[in-house]
Amino acid sequence: MNTAHIPVITIDGPTASGKGTVSHIVAQKLGFHYLDSGALYRLTALSALRKGADPGDEHALAKLARDLHCSFSGEHIFLGQEDVSAAIRAEEVGNTASKIAALPAVRQALYSLQLDFRRAPGLVADGRDMGSVIFPHAPLKVFLTASVEARAERRYKQLIGKGFPANMADLLKDLQERDDRDTNRKVAPLKPAEGAYVLDTSAMTVDEAVGQVLGWYAALKKQHAV
Ligand code: DC
């Protein structure tokens, strides 16, 4: 099926930049589908941790990624029949996801699964390489970022709000390490895609960021570019 005519908005950026929240709301407002590509890396990581897979065995990890039996239903994410929406958000799973995401065979294994999310009337794709690798011809590409301090503070409030213990110094260190790994890996490193609008949300509310993305999209529509 040719899906080239189906509009895609890509929203990439570092961890805890708020892109998940912003992407979700933009998708809702436009009535578009939503791809949380990070969840696919997290699902692969969870599956690897549970199976005790060797973190150095790229091909075994790629096989796990290829054989993922996952499904998405609203806010819920399933691995097989099990609702793992909360389990994949654990810090250990996020860290493992960031490590296995550096392996080319794992990225390749998840490639076509991500393309399948492009369905009418449109898609908002959230990740690190949505605009640079997966949907390079997307009409609107956004790179959402925020200072590491602003992101650590948001994550801190999120964790405390959910009743989890949190330590600001540990969070800062963890974010910096993850940024480093995601930015400096050889395949699909985290960086703004060609033609992406860069949006620094350090001093912005979620509503303001959503408004900006929707404004860019509306402007493209007006020019008949989508
Ligand atoms: O967005 P997130 O924190 O849920 O993503 C988890 C990890 O997956 C992140 O550290 C990097 C990786 N990832 C990636 O490499 N490419 C993507 N498109 C999405 C996530």
Residues 170-204 have pLDDT tens digits of 999 989 998 998 889 888 888 899 999 999 999 99
CA angle (174, 170, 101) in 5-degree steps: 15
In whole angstroms, how far apart are CA 216 and each of 212, 213, 225? 6, 5, 11
Question: Both tokens of residue 28?
Answer: 């809702």
Closest CA to 8 of 27, 28, 21: 27
- Pocket-testing residue among 37, 88, 96, 110, ligand 1, by greatest number of atoms within 8 A of Cβ: 37
User: Is any atom of ligand 1 closer than 6 Å to the C-beta of 126?
Assistant: no
Give me the pLDDT at residue 197, please: 97
Please provide the DSSP assignment of 24-86 as one string.
HHHHHHHT-EEEEHHHHHHHHHHHHHHHT--TT-HHHHHHHHHT--EEEETTEEEETTEE-TT
pTM of the model: 0.93
How far apart are the C-alpha atoms of 20 and 85, rounded to whole Å? Answer: 14
Q: Can you give the pLDDT at residue 28?
A: 97
Q: Report the separation in Å between the CA atom of 37 and the middle of ligand 1, taken as the mean of its atom positions.
A: 7
| Domain annotation for the chain: domains and CATH numbers | 8-208 (3.40.50.300)
Q: How many CB atoms lie within 10 A of CB 48?
A: 23
For ligand 1, whether the C-beta of 178 sits within 6 Å is yes
SS3 of residue 124 by DSSP: strand
- Locate tokens 């449109």: which residue? 122
* CB 98 near ligand 1, within 6 Å: yes
One pLDDT digit (tens) per residue for the chain, 226 residues: 788 899 999 999 998 899 999 999 999 999 999 999 999 999 999 999 999 999 889 999 999 999 999 999 988 999 999 999 999 988 899 889 989 999 999 999 999 999 999 999 999 999 999 999 999 999 999 999 999 999 999 989 988 988 888 999 999 998 999 899 888 988 888 889 999 999 999 999 999 999 999 999 999 999 987 8
